[in-house]
Structure 1
């Protein structure tokens, strides 16, 4: 395998923080769940424990358990999923990832180095499941075999070790143990060992293999203990005493799922199903459970010969003051972000979309997680798919558990048992709300995915009652999903998987209890021009009261939604979004999952496989695009987007965590205070435009000299921040300049100043 190069951390940081377009102030951040521990490494000379998780890497103080530092793809890691870690003989921490990249942290200098050979290879399973140090080499367990890498110069030694004796070629290697110059490996098709002295590991005959049941499939753990080789798989535990393979002599564990085996002091510890046991070589049949049952993943040993345990849901368990304490950095409950919403205080709310995920909120500093374990009042189950904030209220919609209303610290769950919300046929207690929105009067509307009363659209009446609306024949069997409401209080609703598929619209004419004046209609997929629309995934109403529809074949816009309720039989035709490229208007054909608008009415479109598209308010111009190749965004599959008007942070939900990008889409001030210009001084030539902060809505700006000569004038985009895009182009002389800002009628005026230094 050719070594494809190593990136320095400084170059990586330059890449991820570089500004890419349209004068945005761009600053990325990653938020992730670090409770699922894949690997643990003790660095005793630094008094540290490092933990690799699906959400990144973190370190903690060995004695106090205090979390000291977090590492994500923004702060050092090449990628977020950290599968395995190992300290080498040069004081560097190696971090193997799920995509095959290796990030190497020098513990003395805090500098990073990267190896991308495995990631850039053509192998199918590139994940790094384990790493083991031997002399001046790291043996790397991958999804296709073992790679041997020099710790001195990071060169790859030998070709990959693909075949171990008679085991299947390119078997996934899950665990490596080196003891007394012998390498032991656990693979997906069996166990193998080889001598490291004077042998050719590329020769399959060098390896001695064994794949007798239960070691014939999914072998996960290997350890050497007092001359015995202990090997565990998903279906049992065997050991070799140097002469024979023997069944472990305890019926509780002999056929169990053995996830890890580790020597701790004089004892042998192993994870069996959901328990951790210890035993001693004096009598393997005697096992002792050492800690209550849990979702354990790893065992490691502290310098004082006490164990540390990794889990899937609680982080790492460390014994402090004679008690085990679960430790993980504050973060979201899961890395799954199915739906996002911002409340009136600028707090982010997220629905996990995971059966056990619950929902979470972020106030800019701290995450608070809501599950049935932490907050039993949220209802029955944790499968929250949608979350809608507005008017000081948050509605969290539980797929199967009803609608949960959060008002301050009060939480009330509404379900068929305590309200008139419907269940489903065959299970009247299973309530599946799936979309919602607040209308212009503050009334909350929600859809149910399946209903046993032929009512899929409901509205909350302000107590424990809801009013349902009988489905017209056009949607009698539909699965209603996301909702958007226009300025005429027309509800625009995605009709999902069941026939008919399309976009439903409904207006009750302001009379919730009088169905005779209700107006409704339906756009079939075939009503969207150009063909190719088979799925509608999201809908919003923008600042111009236009209905924007996200489909599997781009974005469509209904420019005059009022016409739909005036005459549903002559509903206005959707118009396909086209972006200006050169002198051409090119149809936008991405597979779109989600979309939202920001305070500037600019659009953010999340796609299935190409990241995020940032589009101008009129839909004509692509302002920027973010994907995994040109930005730190966590995934090209975007599940939800929300832009916080309080600080301009755009949040991109994925199934791998949450990415956040600082933008200039901040709501304007009500009155002028201090207008701040940056950079100040503006040193010309400059790589950035002048940024003007502290504006009210729809500000007009003038740039003037001290003697009153107007240099330039322009309109702000509507928010708190504007950019003087001509600041780098004009031949400005060194000196002090005045910024004058005023509203349309001139009744409100603000001013600021900045200096120019011309090199």
Structure 2
């Protein structure tokens, strides 16, 4: 029998076979966070490794410039690192975080252990880890909560809330030992205690120093050299020996932020450079690097200087070398967009201006008015991708920026403000605020012109493909211009949402220049079923339905075209996710709705009546369930989830379908189901029935998807792994009736 005849016979025989629908699978999670801000650094000479704790994770850099980055998807429980310590006996790196998490990396086995006692203790109001100290019998941990000890088997011991007479709740800044005495420095003095006491919780066992011999009682750190303790405050340094604390002359250097032992000499740093304590001379190579936030040193004379501008300086023998990790400038991912070249665009918001950042080809680039002086303000707060490959970036104060592609990787940036467009600044001035842009079917870009000063002016600006601008005042109420999001439906009606509690404004010009026939109206909680008047997002799905996210939940408008008949549309409450606070909405290739809420991500089916999947801290490496932004790359199937603590990227099996089966393929080949992997069948046409059969035509399993790809786990319709051999994959589109086939080989190792 010919192949074509075989396919036809099989498809006819299988047309009544039960199809198994595709599920929502997200895998291969990666996390992206900012590595710019160095909170703590540590050089371990024996491991030839620099360890850098940042607000976005841990960096380990060896002497061959090999870099390993650890975040919540590959070892850490928390990304905001606040303390590092090295246990030389066990060859373990201890990593402390601002939320009380402790992660322990074993350098020998390259495995992680975790201690969550501090993080999970509800009675601790403050949990930041600040320092570690390792002895032969115990590990001491100091932080905002006080002092806690652990034995060598990681079992907790004493919890000391109060160091002697020092106020309870005072943060501990460093730990040292001299012989059999433990020294603790705090923000309100220093304390010492004999390490052989039955319990360190007994306040009377502590000896406290708060004034005599100290430049200030607020201690920032300490080190020990030759059994002499050196205590550092912002205003000066003292040493303690033979029971006496003595202030050392630092020649007026009184903005000290760190102290360390560089080789065999005591050094201290301020925000400009590092000094030797014995002569107060600048350490060569430590100056002219900008503002320093701190430093650390090691026994081999290496010092690590932390830069406020981002990254570190590695200093040894007067030679300095800068290291800046490639990362976004901030952990704030409060808006997201994907350009046609697959690049991600993101940033913060107007109240926390950071500029914006792009991610493509595994590289981050950061943009601000420092890199681009034409950007008057760094308050970028929305981004929209257009069909011509451009990205429009809405700015709080500086108008709107069009990023137009030159090549696949470079863009030209054009700023539009009061000088070159109809935009009007707040109160009629030059401070121009724009909302999220949208594109109509003619390629015209529309965006709100925000004003909260009651100035009559344009509420909507548009720019045509030929470059000409136009504008419209609010035909419902000319002084209401506090709108910051925009969407355009299939009938070219513009829908504007207000984050200031004005509800939903809509406008249609009926495709005429006559302003008298324009349709304007406003919907809010008083005249409609909108759940809340604070509108955060409006999205049109693949069927032309409008989805509205607000502080009160999710609404849908199934009949937006009815406004052309002079009627208000029906606004439906999507009750399947109750009254969750909705921050963002994205539509995937098969018209599912991905909803970003303050309680995780919910994936709803096409009509919003069923929850297909929930993504939160229990099943994804998220540090918070408060999801601020969400976008999908329907060409690759990637989902991007933005929070205030970083970006989460996952791989889905939902991509745009092909028009036919000319590119149908499957991999890996050969495929072994026992590995736990799946066979990826890609190049599917819309609404594909996928039948897997034996060479003789016996059915194995039948699958169904609207996506351009689907996974097969190597099991038949009874859940049994199939035998080795060759299998035929038959496909047929439910919309085009086109068919295709390929084959795969099952082989066990």
Does TM, scored on the shorter chain, surpass 0.5?
yes
- Structure 1 residue 729: deviation in Å? 2.8
- Are 2:639 and 1:639 equivalent residues in the alignment? no
- Could you tell me whether the CA contact under 8 Å between 1:492 and 1:504 is conserved in 2? yes
Residue in 1 that maps onto 2:643: 654
- Are 2:96 and 1:121 equivalent residues in the alignment? no
C-alpha deviations, 1:138-175, integer Å up to 9, x for none?
Answer: 2111221111122x311222x21111111111322233
Residue in 2 that maps onto 1:619: 608
Q: Give 1:548-567 correspondences, 5 Å limit.
A: 548-567=547-566
- Could you tell me whether the CA contact under 8 Å between 1:733 and 1:757 is conserved in 2? no
- 1:457 alignment partner, SS class: strand
Q: Distance in 1 between matches of 2:417 and 2:215?
A: 48
- Are 2:414 and 1:412 equivalent residues in the alignment? yes
Q: Distance in 2 between matches of 1:686 and 1:47?
A: 37
Q: Distance in 2 between matches of 1:572 and 1:201?
A: 70
Q: Distance in 2 between matches of 1:477 and 1:218?
A: 52
- Structure 1 residue 241: deviation in Å? 5.1
- Could you tell me whether the CA contact under 8 Å between 2:728 and 2:741 is conserved in 1? yes
- TM-score using structure 1 length: 0.86
- 2:99 alignment partner, SS class: coil
- Could you tell me whether the CA contact under 8 Å between 2:422 and 2:461 is conserved in 1? no
- Structure 1 residue 524: deviation in Å? 0.8
Q: Distance in 1 between matches of 2:175 and 2:654?
A: 50
Residue in 1 that maps onto 2:496: 493
- Could you tell me whether the CA contact under 8 Å between 1:239 and 1:246 is conserved in 2? yes
- 1:520 alignment partner, SS class: strand
C-alpha deviations, 1:103-124, integer Å up to 9, x for none?
Answer: 1111011111111111121212
Residue in 2 that maps onto 1:96: 96
Residue in 2 that maps onto 1:73: 72
Q: Distance in 2 between matches of 1:43 and 1:287?
A: 21
- Could you tell me whether the CA contact under 8 Å between 1:23 and 1:723 is conserved in 2? no
Residue in 1 that maps onto 2:589: 599
- 1:601 alignment partner, SS class: coil
Which one of 281, 289, 306 corresponds to residue 310 of structure 1? 306
- Structure 1 residue 381: deviation in Å? 2.6
Residue in 1 that maps onto 2:685: 696
Q: Which runs of 5+ in 1 are unaligned?
A: 1-20, 580-586
Q: 1:733 to 1:309 in 2, by over 3 A?
A: closer
Q: Which piece of structure 1 moves more, 125-134 or 454-463?
A: 454-463
- Could you tell me whether the CA contact under 8 Å between 1:40 and 1:298 is conserved in 2? no
- Structure 1 residue 712: deviation in Å? 5.7
- Structure 1 residue 737: deviation in Å? 3.2
Q: Give 1:532-611 correspondences, 5 Å limit.
A: 533-567=532-566, 570-579=567-576, 588-608=578-598, 610-611=599-600
- 1:533 alignment partner, SS class: coil
Residue in 2 that maps onto 1:583: none
- 2:436 alignment partner, SS class: strand
- Could you tell me whether the CA contact under 8 Å between 2:684 and 2:708 is conserved in 1? yes
- Are 2:330 and 1:340 equivalent residues in the alignment? no
Q: Which piece of structure 1 moves more, 662-671 or 549-558?
A: 662-671
Q: 1:326 to 1:290 in 2, by over 3 A?
A: closer
Residue in 2 that maps onto 1:296: 292
Q: 1:649 to 1:179 in 2, by over 3 A?
A: farther
- Could you tell me whether the CA contact under 8 Å between 1:526 and 1:533 is conserved in 2? no
Residue in 2 that maps onto 1:168: 167
Q: Which runs of 5+ in 2 are unaligned?
A: 1-21, 406-410
- TM-score using structure 2 length: 0.87
- Structure 1 residue 217: deviation in Å? 7.6
- Structure 1 residue 628: deviation in Å? 1.3
Q: Distance in 2 between matches of 1:655 and 1:239?
A: 41
- 1:45 alignment partner, SS class: helix
Residue in 2 that maps onto 1:507: 508
Q: Give 1:141-160 correspondences, 5 Å limit.
A: 141-150=142-151, 152-157=152-157, 159-160=158-159
- Give the aligned CA root-mean-square deviation in angstroms: 3.3
- Are 2:359 and 1:358 equivalent residues in the alignment? no
Which one of 740, 749, 753 corresponds to residue 730 of structure 2? 740
- Could you tell me whether the CA contact under 8 Å between 1:507 and 1:519 is conserved in 2? yes
Q: 1:178 to 1:371 in 2, by over 3 A?
A: farther
- 1:33 alignment partner, SS class: coil
Q: Which piece of structure 1 moves more, 431-440 or 513-522?
A: 513-522
Residue in 2 that maps onto 1:470: 473
Which one of 367, 371, 375 corresponds to residue 374 of structure 1? 371
- Structure 1 residue 465: deviation in Å? 6.2
Q: Give 1:419-498 correspondences, 5 Å limit.
A: 419-425=421-427, 428-450=429-451, 452-461=455-464, 466-474=469-477, 476-497=479-500
Q: Distance in 1 between matches of 2:709 and 2:698?
A: 25
- Structure 1 residue 639: deviation in Å? 1.0
- 1:637 alignment partner, SS class: coil
C-alpha deviations, 1:437-474, integer Å up to 9, x for none?
Answer: 12221111112332645222211245876422112344
Q: Distance in 2 between matches of 1:722 and 1:526?
A: 48
- Could you tell me whether the CA contact under 8 Å between 1:275 and 1:289 is conserved in 2? no
- Could you tell me whether the CA contact under 8 Å between 2:289 and 2:307 is conserved in 1? no
Q: 1:124 to 1:558 in 2, by over 3 A?
A: same
Residue in 2 that maps onto 1:400: 397
- Are 2:139 and 1:138 equivalent residues in the alignment? yes
- Structure 1 residue 385: deviation in Å? 0.9
- Could you tell me whether the CA contact under 8 Å between 2:383 and 2:393 is conserved in 1? yes
C-alpha deviations, 1:517-567, integer Å up to 9, x for none?
Answer: 3322111133453x8635322111111100101122221100011112331
Residue in 1 that maps onto 2:17: none
- Structure 1 residue 648: deviation in Å? 0.6
- Structure 1 residue 286: deviation in Å? 9.2
Q: Distance in 1 between matches of 2:722 and 2:376?
A: 68
Aligned residue pairs, count: 713
- Are 2:657 and 1:668 equivalent residues in the alignment? yes
Residue in 2 that maps onto 1:280: 277
Q: 1:722 to 1:92 in 2, by over 3 A?
A: closer
